[in-house]
């Protein structure tokens, strides 16, 4: 932060009692999920919501209910199941959106409607085709409609950081008068800088009527890599809510990373003079779960949750850390829930050890789920010596994921590949819908070639299932460390006008790829809309 900003320290708001709390508004399930490749099924969203509750977030933005029936259903289920955090739903500044959001939130113990309309000249003119006074009218009307359903109403002037400041003052003053309780200032396109964002908050907090009656909130995108710095600058200026996502996932370069702002406030408490209610030891588990369900990897040098974030490679550093960890560590691995000894279970670990481990990782499974996970664990422990936390999280995710119906199951996979050969795959599938002459599920075999072994496998599966899909994403990543690490494959297929996410894990990466592809295809055959999301063309989001 520049000295200019530092010099304004005396201008920051007086911190008394609750004023020293910065509320954490998690939007992993809304803004985070909006990015290509992060699509989650309804069950996965619910699992993430439970994890966010355990992490201690204050608000979970569960989705944008008007955008699809699946979004609606997911928000509704989260509203019904989650107990402590406020559940927020997004709505454009139009009656229908707000009514649908209110309906989805109906059963929430604590609910918030988050309504928005663009306020920058470029958005008002080209996107909305509205004059500034019409935008104010619509915003005020939207807040009033939202107030019919809940007291807790958040308003966002979209693209606020490219809006005219005087116009923002008028717009915000009017929505506060209409009853908005939280005013969010989005840096929608990731354009601002810490100093500029700080000044904007100071200006708005000083000029808007009744600014002291509402909570100001920061919402930053990371296009220029400044989302965390910008959000923290807003806190310095008086913002008391930060909107963020786990691992910083989100459209384009992502949103502010929850773990970064939380750990900055935790580590530099004396500088920020505020605190959050986040249980920091839950950060790593949450980060791993979001990686597992979305298949979005975290760069090794990512702050806080990257693989190297606590690794000291250089001799000088290692020597220092051994003598006193504080020489090079500003926070401990334990503070984010990273056990110093990551290797936990192996071939000789029994049910009891697994159960203990699961509880420590935050899972409460019923007897049947525990049996299923234990069975898979023993299979895995036979293949690899050390079973890491990440392996266990992936096993649980895989074993407990509800599938309404699995039409196809892989019985055999054979792949022939190598330099100078045409990759060929032979796949044998059981088709639970077709019966043979003895009334048993029919077994179908096909072989196909491809540009590579994975392409050959997918082609062979296509021949059996008769599916023609477009692969939007295919990702392969190791789940844990070592040569015998399990690989996780994630695919996102477009079949007709819907997107199907599939995931597969195995110590054999070709097998993992086949599982992932078939998982997505089975979701298509389940004919259950909650297993897919509607395909939206790039740029066709809100
Ligand atoms: O970035 C943005 O402007 C948003 C709003 C809908 C809050 O996500
Ligand atoms: Zn956003």
Q: Residue 245: which CATH number?
A: 3.20.20.70
Same domain as 394, residue 324: yes
Q: ∠ CA(468), CA(474), CA(478), 5° rounding?
A: 145
Alpha-carbon span 432 to 401, nearest angstrom: 19
Predicted pLDDT of residue 528? 72
Ligand 1 centroid – CA 27 distance (Å) = 10
Distance 64 CA to ligand 1 centre (A): 11
**Does a structural domain hold residue 426?**
yes
pLDDT > 90 fraction of the chain, expressed in percent and rounded: 62
- The arithmetic mean of pLDDT across residues 277-305, rounded, is 90
Compute, in angstroms, the gap from residue 520 CA to the centroid of ligand 1: 30
* Whole-Å CA distances, 509 to 187, 386, 477, 489: 40, 18, 9, 7
37, part of any domain: yes
Distance set, CA 492 to CA 246, 460, 470 (Å): 21, 18, 9
pTM: 0.77
Residue 345 burial (10 A CB sphere; 0-12, 13-18, 19+): buried
Minimal-distance CA residue to ligand 1 atom 3 = 188
pLDDT of residue 5: 35
Query: Taking 70 as the threshold, does the pLDDT of residue 17 lie above it?
Result: no
Distances from the Cα of 489 to the Cαs of 474, 476, 517, 518, in angstroms? 7, 4, 9, 11
Does 396 share its domain with 420? no
Q: Which ligand is nearest to the CA of 160?
A: 1
What ligand is nearest to the CA atom of residue 93?
Answer: 1
Average pLDDT over residues 351-370: 80
Query: 90, 93, 160, 219: which to mutate for ligand 1, most atoms within 8 A of CB?
Result: 219
User: Where residue 6 falls among pLDDT bands split at 50, 70, 90?
Assistant: very low
- Closest approach atom of ligand 1 to CA 159: 3
Q: Among residues 16, 3, 58, which one has the least CA distance to residue 273?
A: 16
Nearest ligand (C-alpha, residue 542) = 1
Alpha-carbon distance of 154 to 216, in angstroms, equals 10
- Supply the mean pLDDT for the chain: 88
CA distance 536 to 430: 33
386 and 421 in a single domain? The answer is: no
Could you tell me how far CA 349 lies from the centroid of its own chain?
A: 32
Same domain, yes or no: 412 and 387:
no
Cβ(41)–Cβ(66) under 8 Å?
Answer: no
Rounded to the nearest 5 degrees, what angle is found at the Cα of 482, between the Cα atoms of 480 and 485? 50
Whether residue 141 is found in the same domain as residue 265: yes
71 and 217 part of one domain: yes
Q: How confident is the model at residue 14 (pLDDT cuts 50, 70, 90)?
A: very low
Q: Whole-angstrom Cα distance, residue 324 to residue 97? A: 56
* pLDDT score recorded for residue 539: 35
pLDDT above 70 covers what percent of the chain? 90
Residue that wins the pLDDT comparison between 396 and 244: 244
- Check if the beta carbon of residue 260 is closer than 8 Å to that of residue 304: yes
- For residue 389, tell me if it sits in a domain: yes
433-443 pLDDT, tens per residue?
A: 999 999 999 99
CA-nearest residue for atom 1, ligand 1, is 188
Domain membership flag for residue 41: yes
* pLDDT tops 80 at residue 527: no
- Name residues contacting ligand 1 (CB within 6 A): 31, 116, 156, 158, 184, 186, 188, 219, 221
β pairing state of 470-478 and 408-416: unpaired
* Domain boundary, last residue among 400, 433, 449: 400
379 and 412 share one domain: no
Band (488; pLDDT cuts 50, 70, 90): confident
Rounded Cα distance, 87 and 96, in Å: 19
Ligand 1 pocket test target in 25, 26, 61, 188 with most atoms within 8 Å of CB? 188
The label of the residue with tokens 């710095």 reads: 229
Cα gap 387→375, rounded to integer Å: 14
Task: Give me the pLDDT at residue 383, please.
Answer: 84
Give the residue, by CA position, lying nearest to ligand 1 atom 5.
Answer: 158
Which ligand gives the minimal distance to the CA of 161?
A: 1
Whichever domain contains 441, its CATH number is 3.30.160.270
Pocket test for ligand 1, best of 128, 186, 220, 223 (most atoms within 8 A of CB): 186
Q: Are residues 361 and 393 in the same domain?
A: yes
Q: Which of 373, 400, 427 is the last residue of a domain?
A: 400
Mean pLDDT over residues 246-268, rounded?
Answer: 96
**Alpha carbon distance 368, 386 (integer Å):** 24
Question: What is the domain range of residue 44?
Answer: 19-294
Cβ atoms of residues 278 and 260 within 8 Å: no
Residues paired with 504 in a beta bridge: 489
480 and 418 together in one domain: yes
Chosen domain end from 352, 368, 400? 400
Packed helices 194-207 and 227-236: angle between N→C axes, nearest 10 degrees: 30
Q: What is the mean pLDDT of residues 443-450?
A: 96
- Who wins on pLDDT, 527 or 224? 224
The dihedral built from the CA positions of residue 361, 295, 35 and 69, taken in this order, carries a sign that is negative
Q: Is the dihedral of CA 161, 164, 166, 168 positive or negative?
A: negative
The DSSP bridge partners found for residue 40 are none
Do the domain assignments include residue 112?
yes
Residue 537 domain-assigned (yes or no): no
Indicate whether 393 and 252 sit together in one domain: no
Ligand 1: centre distance to CA 184 (Å): 9
Structure tokens at 281: 């030891």
Write down how long the chain is: 542
Total domains, the chain? 3
Verify that 290 and 334 share a domain, yes or no. no
Tell me: do 271 and 345 sit in the same domain. Answer: no
Is 301 inside a domain boundary? no
**188 CA → ligand 2 middle, Å:** 5
Separation of CA 246 and ligand 2 centre (Å): 14
Q: If you take atom 2 of ligand 1, which residue's CA is the nearest one?
A: 188
Q: Is the pLDDT of residue 273 over 70?
A: yes
Among 234, 235, 176, 232, smallest CA distance to 15 is for: 235
Statement: residue 529 has pLDDT above 80: no
Alpha helices in 237-314 (DSSP H): 258-267, 269-272, 283-294
The answer to the question of residue 305 being in a domain is no
Phi then psi for 396, rounded to 5 degrees?
Answer: -65, -45
For ligand 1, pick from 62, 91, 127, 156 the residue to mutate: most ligand atoms within 8 Å of CB.
Answer: 156
């Amino acid at each position: 932060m520049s000295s200019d900003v530092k010099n304004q320290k005396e201008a920051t708001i007086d911190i008394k009692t609750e004023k020293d709390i910065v509320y954490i508004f998690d939007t992993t399930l809304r803004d985070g999920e909006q990015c290509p490749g992060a699509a989650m099924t309804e069950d996965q969203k619910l699992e993430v919501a439970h994890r966010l509750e355990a992490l201690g977030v204050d608000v979970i933005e569960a989705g944008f209910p008007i955008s699809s029936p699946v979004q609606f259903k997911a928000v509704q289920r989260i509203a019904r199941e989650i107990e402590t955090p406020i559940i927020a739903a997004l709505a454009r500044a139009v009656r229908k959106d707000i009514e649908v959001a209110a309906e989805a939130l109906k059963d929430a113990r604590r609910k918030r409607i988050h309504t928005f309309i663009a306020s920058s000249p470029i958005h008002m003119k080209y996107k909305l085709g509205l004059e500034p006074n019409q935008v104010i009218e619509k915003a005020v009307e939207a807040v009033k409609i939202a107030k019919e359903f809940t007291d807790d109403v958040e308003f966002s002037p979209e693209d606020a950081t490219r809006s005219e400041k005087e116009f923002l003052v008028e717009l915000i003053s009017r929505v506060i008068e209409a009853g908005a309780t939280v005013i969010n200032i989005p840096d929608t396109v990731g354009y601002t800088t810490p100093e500029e964002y700080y000044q904007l908050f100071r200006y708005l907090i000083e000029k808007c009527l009744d600014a002291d009656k509402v909570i100001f909130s920061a919402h930053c995108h990371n296009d220029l890599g400044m989302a965390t710095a910008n959000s923290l600058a807003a806190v310095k200026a008086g913002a008391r809510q930060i909107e963020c996502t786990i691992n910083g996932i989100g459209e384009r370069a992502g949103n502010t990373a929850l773990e970064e702002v939380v750990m900055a406030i935790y580590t530099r408490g004396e500088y920020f003079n505020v605190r959050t209610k986040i249980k920091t030891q839950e950060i790593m588990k949450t980060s791993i779960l979001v990686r597992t369900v979305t298949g979005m990897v975290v760069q090794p040098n990512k702050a806080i949750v990257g693989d190297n974030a606590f690794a000291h490679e250089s001799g000088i550093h290692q020597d220092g850390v051994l003598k006193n960890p504080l020489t090079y560590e500003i926070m401990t691995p334990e503070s984010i829930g990273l056990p110093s000894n990551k290797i936990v279970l192996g071939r000789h670990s029994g049910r009891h050890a697994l159960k203990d481990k699961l509880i420590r990782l935050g899972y409460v499974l019923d007897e049947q789920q525990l049996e299923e996970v234990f069975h898979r664990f023993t299979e895995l422990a036979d293949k690899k010596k050390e079973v890491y936390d990440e392996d266990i999280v992936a096993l649980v995710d895989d074993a407990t994921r509800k599938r309404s119906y699995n039409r196809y199951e892989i019985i055999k996979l054979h792949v022939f590949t190598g330099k100078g050969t045409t990759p060929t795959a032979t796949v044998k599938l059981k088709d639970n819908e077709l019966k043979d002459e003895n009334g048993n599920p029919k077994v179908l075999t096909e072989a196909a070639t491809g540009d590579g072994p994975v392409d050959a496998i997918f082609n062979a599966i296509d021949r059996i299932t008769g599916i023609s899909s477009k692969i939007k994403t295919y990702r392969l990543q190791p789940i844990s460390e070592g040569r015998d690490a399990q690989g996780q494959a994630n695919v996102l297929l477009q079949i007709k006008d819907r997107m199907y996410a599939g995931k597969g894990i195995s110590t054999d990466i070709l097998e993992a790829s086949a599982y992932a592809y078939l998982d997505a295809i089975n979701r298509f055959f389940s004919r259950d809309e909650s297993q897919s999301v509607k395909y939206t063309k790039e740029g066709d989001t809100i």
